[in-house]
Amino acid sequence: MTTARLIALDQILFVLVAAAWAATAGIALTGLRQPAAAGRRTRLIAAASCAAAIVVTALRVAVTAGLAGAGWWFVAEKVTLALPLVVVPALVSAAVSLPRLLRGTATGSTRIVAFPLLVAAYGAVAGIACAVVISYPVTAGGAAAVLALFAAGSAVTWRLLGPARSPRHGWQAAGTCVLALALALTIGGGWPSGHLHPEHDAGGPGVSVDLLRGPAPAAAGGPAGARERVRRFTLTAQPATVRLPSGGGAEAWSFNGQVPGPVLRVRQGDLVEVVLRNRLPVRGGAEQADSGQADSGQGVTIHWHGYDVPAAEDGVPGVTQNAVWPGQSHVYRFRAEDAGTYWYHSHQNSSVAVPRGLFGLLVVDPAAPAPESEDHVLALHAFGSRATLSVDGAAPSDLLTRLTLPPGARTRLRVVNTDTRPVVLGLSGVPYRIAAVDGGDVPGATELDGARLHLAAGGRYDLTFTMPSGPVLLTTGDRPALLVNGPATPPPAAGPIVDITRYGSPAALPDRFDRETTWVLDKTLAVSGGLPRLAQTVNGKAWPNIPTPVVRRGQTVRIRVVNRGTDTHPMHPHGHHVRILSRNGVPATGLAMDTFDVAPGEVWEVALVADNPGVWMSHCHDLAHAAQGMEFHLAYEGVTTPYDMTGGNHPA
């Protein structure tokens, strides 16, 4: 069974285990309070229920043992805490309660029979609590909180089941519970203070991220200026309306009135200069906008997704700049050193802004002439529930888009997933190759025929083929999205999904690492925005309390990413591509990716070479998950940032 299945099964089982023990205890208590003969039947039912509870408990142990095979990260809190709390009383129940219930005549032994059953029920409930409050690593606070409640419940129960009961006992019991709860909240609630990045706060020694800028254009007429091509663009954030061919529509935020924003197409070596202007509506009047005051409307930035620009050009509010408020502007500059397919999007309130349309495509053509004569860039995006496709920056369509290409033409389709969910792509009617992944060429890309592809949110695949005489069909999800040279439609690709980590020829990979770090992804109760909430967590913590990994320039870092939750997480470290070393222990070919999809139960190992100093965002590109806590920083020793989350800066 896959790890993901075991995780899901475990979640069903811990509810079942709790229900079984609670039912058993309830039935037994009823039976024990009835007169000997009348209660006999009830006590036998309780015995049967107890046997069932023991069986599901054993099943849970077996599932945990299976999960342990995938790694200690998946089971630590279960083995050390959740299981002992239910298994020990379950064993006592089997030895003490079950035989007495079976004899059927047990009377006068309420305490001895019912206590282990009730404690098993508490233990099982504590197991559910563990799943909600504790991730990996197991924290002393979380464990103490669970234990305190469990112990208090058990102690009170022991008293209440005793022979001499008086109203005083009730008060004592209530008092104990309140005390335990207070204790649990105090220990478990050693909530972090919300220090954002103490390791690299402004004011410390070092270089400010603000100084790590892209190059300014060489002075006109200078020797370097003669060779340098500067490409200037203006992107104006403004409202727009998206009309879908099916009849649907959406109020959107756009760059230059179009969604997606303009395709920025430059050549390798160009100096790119982009002026961002914010003309989104002002909240609360024009003077507020003039004062550049935070919260005077929707702020905007531009992040160059997958383009490893100098840190100051990365477009993250609160990290590399302040959000650009309505009426303000900002200039980005970087040299287009790497050819390939990229995209850009606002990073202010990105979980709202990107789905609403503040994104566009960036294509860097290689300096050497490309072999393909047909080159088209496709953006996948959902407006509400409508999946759409935009070809070459044209208005998005939720119906089948048609394209005509000359048969025999060497063709490149650059597919960009600008959505927050992964998509399964199918290309049929022609064998094809994945020529590039996340902008980088794939060495030794083999030909695929009928195979389907899984593209992470934020990720890009360049698909190349020679246009056949017949039609070619691209499907996204189950939807026929693009038909080239119809009207006949080839059957959709239905082959297996390519394991992208094993695609292409093996690259030379680092085998020595200066640092190792593990990111365990989960969904648990954590403090985010000052309050405990169900959050998407990394190592049990949520933004802004996830500690910042700090690297030194030149270091090679091995990052292990473990997903112990039930959601897929497209992890996206800014400023760097990582090389995929392995997935679930299976060696990878070493493709460079900037957004990699870690599915439930998966363990990825990637290598990051620290060659781009800065303070970088690192987050899940399911932007709702980022907003629910799954974002943190990656910082370089000696680099500080003067920006923070005050003044309305809000990356997720």
> Where on the chain is the footprint of ligand C2O (CB under 6 A)?
303, 305, 345, 347, 458, 572, 574, 617, 619, 621
Question: Which residues in this chain contact Cu ion in the complex, by CB under 5 A?
Answer: 569, 620, 622, 625
Task: Decide the pairing of beta strands 472-476 and 423-428.
Answer: antiparallel
Q: In DSSP terms, which residues pair with 330 in a beta bridge?
A: 276
The CB-of-7 to ligand C2O minimum distance in angstroms stands at 27
Say how far residue 109 (Cα) sits from the centre of its chain.
52
Which residue, 77 or 314, is less far from ligand C2O as judged by CB?
Answer: 314
Least distance to ligand C2O, CB of residue 600, Å: 22
The C-alpha atoms of residue 443 and residue 412 are separated, in whole angstroms, by: 16
d(CA 282, CA 276): 17
CA distances from 153 to 29, 53, 176, 458 (A): 17, 20, 8, 48
CA distance 314 to 635: 14
Q: How far is the CB of 201 from Cu ion (least distance, A)?
A: 27
Q: Which residue has the tokens 């009617």?
A: 429
Strands (E), 529-614: 531-538, 550-551, 556-563, 569-573, 578-583, 586-587, 592-593, 596-598, 603-609
Binding at 620: pick from Cu ion, ligand C2O, none (beta carbon under 5-8 Å per type) = Cu ion
Least Cβ distance, residue 594 to ligand C2O (angstroms)? 9
Closer residue to ligand C2O in complex, CB, 462/631: 631
Cα–Cα distance for residue pair 43/34, rounded to 1 Å: 9
Residue 40: name its binding partner from Cu ion, ligand C2O, none (Cβ under 5 to 8 Å by kind). none
**Closer residue to ligand C2O (CB): 583 or 621:** 621
Kindly give the pairing relationship between strand 359-365 and strand 264-267: parallel
- What does 576 interact with, of ligand C2O, Cu ion, none (CB < 5 to 8 A by kind)? none
| Cα 55 from Cα 300, distance rounded (Å) | 56
310 binds, among Cu ion, ligand C2O, none (CB under 5 to 8 A by kind): none
574 binds, among ligand C2O, Cu ion, none (CB under 5 to 8 A by kind): ligand C2O
What's the token pair of residue 199? 């390791």
Work out what residue 414 binds among ligand C2O, Cu ion, none; the CB cut-off runs from 5 to 8 Å by kind.
none
**3-state SS, residue 250:** strand
Shortest Å, Cβ 294 to ligand C2O: 21
Alpha-carbon dihedral angle through residues 94, 95, 97, 98, given to the nearest 10 degrees? 50
- H helix runs in 343-389, sequence order: 350-353
Amino acid at 426: G
Of 273 and 567, nearer to Cu ion (C-beta) is 567
Name the residue nearer to ligand C2O (CB basis): 78 or 460: 460
Which CB atom, from 123 or from 306, has the smaller least distance to ligand C2O?
Answer: 306
Cβ 628 to Cu ion shortest distance, Å:
8
For residues 583 and 508, give the distance between their C-alpha atoms in angstroms, rounded to a whole number. Answer: 17
Q: Which is nearer to Cu ion, 307 or 519 (CB)?
A: 519
Residue 579: name its binding partner from ligand C2O, Cu ion, none (Cβ under 5 to 8 Å by kind).
none
Residue 385 neighbours by CB under 8 Å, 6+ apart: none
CA distance 280 to 329: 12
Q: Which CB atom, from 22 or from 319, has the smaller least distance to ligand C2O? A: 319
CB of 625 to Cu ion, least distance (A): 3
Q: Which residues are registered as beta bridge partners of 246?
A: none
Nearer residue to ligand C2O within complex by CB, 411 or 417: 417
Q: Does a cis peptide bond (omega within 30 degrees of 0) precede residue 406?
A: no
Least Å from the CB of residue 460 to ligand C2O = 11
Nearest approach in angstroms of CB 351 to ligand C2O is 11
3-state secondary structure of 117: helix
Q: Which does residue 625 touch among Cu ion, ligand C2O, none (CB within 5 to 8 A, set by kind)?
A: Cu ion
**CB 297 to ligand C2O: min, Å:** 22
Backbone φ, ψ for residue 337 (5° rounding): -80, -30
Contact indicator for 363, 264 with CB cutoff of 8 Å: yes
Residue 622 interacts, among ligand C2O, Cu ion, none and using kind-specific CB cut-offs from 5 to 8 Å, with: Cu ion
Residue closer to ligand C2O, measured from CB, 100 or 305: 305
Closer residue to Cu ion in complex, CB, 550/603: 603
Alpha-carbon span 107 to 511, nearest angstrom: 68
User: C-beta of 388: minimal distance to Cu ion in Å?
Assistant: 22
Cis peptide bond prior to 549, omega within 30° of 0: no
Beta strands in 311-385 (DSSP E): 329-335, 340-345, 359-365, 374-383
Shortest Å, Cβ 651 to ligand C2O: 7
Between residues 278 and 320, which has the closer beta carbon with respect to ligand C2O?
320
Alpha-carbon gap, residue 363 to 378, rounded angstroms: 11
Nearer to ligand C2O, 119 or 630 (CB): 630
Q: How far is CA 376 from CA 108, 341, 372, 391, in A?
A: 82, 11, 10, 7
- Least distance to Cu ion from the beta carbon of 346, Å? 19
Give the burial class of 293: count Cβ atoms within 10 A of its Cβ; 0-12 exposed, 13-18 middle, 19 or more buried. middle
